[in-house]
Amino acid sequence: MDNEIFVIGHINPDTDSICSAIAYAELKRKLTNGKYKEKRAGQINSETRFVLETFGVPAPDYINDIHAQVKDIEIRRTKGVKKGISLKNAWSYMEENNVVTLPIVDESNHLEGLITIGDIAKSYMDIYDNRVLTKAQTPCTNIIETLEGQLVVGAPEALLSEGKVLIAAANPDLMEDYIEKDDIVILGNRYESQLCAIEMNARLIIVCDGAPVSKTITKMAQNNDCIIIRTPYDTFTAARLINQSIPIQFFMTNNNLITFTTEDYIEEIRGVMAKKRYRDFPILSKNGSYIGMISRRNLLDAKRKQVILVDHNEKSQAVDGLEDAEILEIIDHHRLGSLETISPVFFRNQPLGCTATIIYQMYQENGIIVEPKIAGLLCSAILSDTLVYRSPTCTEIDRISAEELAKIANIDVEEHAKKMFAAGSNLKSKSPEEIFYQDFKKFTAGDLIFGVGQINSMNQDELESIEEKLVPYMQKAFKDHGVQMLFFMLTNILEESTELLYQGNGAKELLINAFKLDGNSDTIYLRGVVSRKKQLIPALMLSLQQDNN
């Protein structure tokens, strides 16, 4: 991860959430050498997409979970080996690198199998017949390396695929009875034995003790397509070592391999590891290329993802896995929520109409010039969150900031706001699900969890069309979220009013009590209420507290 730090807004991002994340990540990059990366935890709505396209800024990458992943732990970069190397070479590599498992890869670095120290030990302890060397398709080069030999006659790449391994300890007359075509014969410096093996069509003879091979034997071997290898080892040692030349593919495991990718979550692979008795597990990239190995011990050193939260401080509004992450900072303008941190963090919370206003202040405080495109994003966020200064959450600081940013971005506030809201409120063609989640948040009051969504529009006819879609969908959303109450604000920006849809036992009664309404009508209409943060949520919270008392 190279200490990459995510700057991220809430799970149903609005324009402020997205633009503040982009602007604050840019500010942090200019102030430090850290790798700050803006992210989004949900889908971008039409209004925000219009803003990004207007100022030529790409949308942040999507991330839906920040639990620790395999890429957050140290992966042991054990080099992959080819399946044709000998057992001896594999053992030497394991000793040199202090590993117990070797990955076997092909020419494209894709995993073909695994071999462990246990597999090699088993190859010694198990009893194999004298044809195992040829069953394994052992190449001559492996035998030369294993016996530290010298090739006298033949090609090193030749494969031994037929015959058995014999030790020629008897006299030539007896040898003729048990040497067959394509056999591998281990013998000494006796000319007669060498000659007999060649005449009996042995495929390979191994001359021990470094004994010289005569020109006559060499010539005969060439004529009979017989390979000759000289080794400095004695006959006993050569016979003991020769099985170490077998290619590791003969003993490797290549079926039902348990592998993970760098994107896998540690909580998920921990369970898989617990059910298997393997020491090490291969890690692959997204395209299937081998990267390295991990063990259970590596999981203990997993690094938490580092995050900065903007425009929220409620766990219910945060990306999944936040409890696993290290929160470094919180920049917000909402009420204090239920979020807890393991260690102290930089927390900046101001009673302003928009998080983007706080971000702009931080640019000014640090003497960093705001680039036009960033100014455009911050200005748009303020205009969106304050409903072009109409929201009661809007302060004079928000207004002044937006006007200054508009000059930097070279935009007309009223004209830009109309285009932005028109793009955002063009919802007739969208599904009820898309409309519902355009700006939806969950809140907690004691043991009660409730959700509130909101749509702003300058067109009352459009709001009525949206209402027809949302009323039946509200029932499904209520069941899906498992909350006690669900509300949705249909806000008319020009009339500065909101119609409230609701679901859940006690939801209507809560609204009636909170806003002192007449309970005779099923329609909840709130004149002068346009802000979820400053008008709706505080009223609901106060009413809930009074009910509890």
Query: Which of the listed residues 373, 398, 424 is the one where a domain comes to its end?
Result: 424
Say if residues 283 and 292 touch (Cβ distance below 8 Å): yes
Q: Are residues 63 and 104 in the same domain?
A: no
Q: Are residues 377 and 319 in the same domain?
A: yes
> What pLDDT shows up at residue 276?
83
421 DSSP 8-state letter? H
Q: Is residue 528 part of a domain?
A: yes
Query: Rounded to the nearest 5 degrees, what angle is found at the Cα of 122, between the Cα atoms of 119 and 123?
Result: 90
Q: Is residue 380 part of a domain?
A: yes
Q: How many domains does the chain have?
A: 3
Q: Is residue 39 part of a domain?
A: yes
Query: Which of the listed residues 402, 424, 446 is the one where a domain comes to its end?
Result: 424
Say if residues 260 and 269 touch (Cβ distance below 8 Å): yes
CATH number assigned to the domain comprising residue 160: 3.40.1390.20
CA distance to 28, 158, 194, 339, 354, per residue, from 347 (Å): 15, 71, 86, 12, 16
Q: Is residue 135 part of a domain?
A: yes
Q: Are residues 21 and 99 in the same domain?
A: no
> Considering the entire predicted model, what is its pTM?
0.68
Which residues span the domain enclosing 501? Answer: 432-548
CATH number assigned to the domain comprising residue 484: 3.10.310.20
Q: Is residue 358 part of a domain?
A: yes
Question: Rounded to whole angstroms, how far apart are CA atoms 401 and 365?
Answer: 13
**Per-residue pLDDT tens digits for 481-502:** 889 999 999 999 888 899 999 9
Query: Which of the listed residues 424, 453, 472 is the one where a domain comes to its end?
Result: 424
> What pLDDT shows up at residue 270?
87
* Average pLDDT, 10 consecutive residues per value, the chain (549 residues): 84 95 97 93 93 97 93 91 94 92 95 92 78 94 96 94 88 80 93 91 95 94 95 94 94 92 91 86 93 88 90 90 92 86 91 97 97 98 94 94 98 94 77 87 88 87 87 91 92 90 93 88 89 90 81
Query: Rounded to the nearest 5 degrees, what angle is found at the Cα of 363, between the Cα atoms of 361 and 365?
Result: 65
CATH number assigned to the domain comprising residue 322: 3.90.1640.10
Helix (H) or strand (E) holding 465: helix 460-481
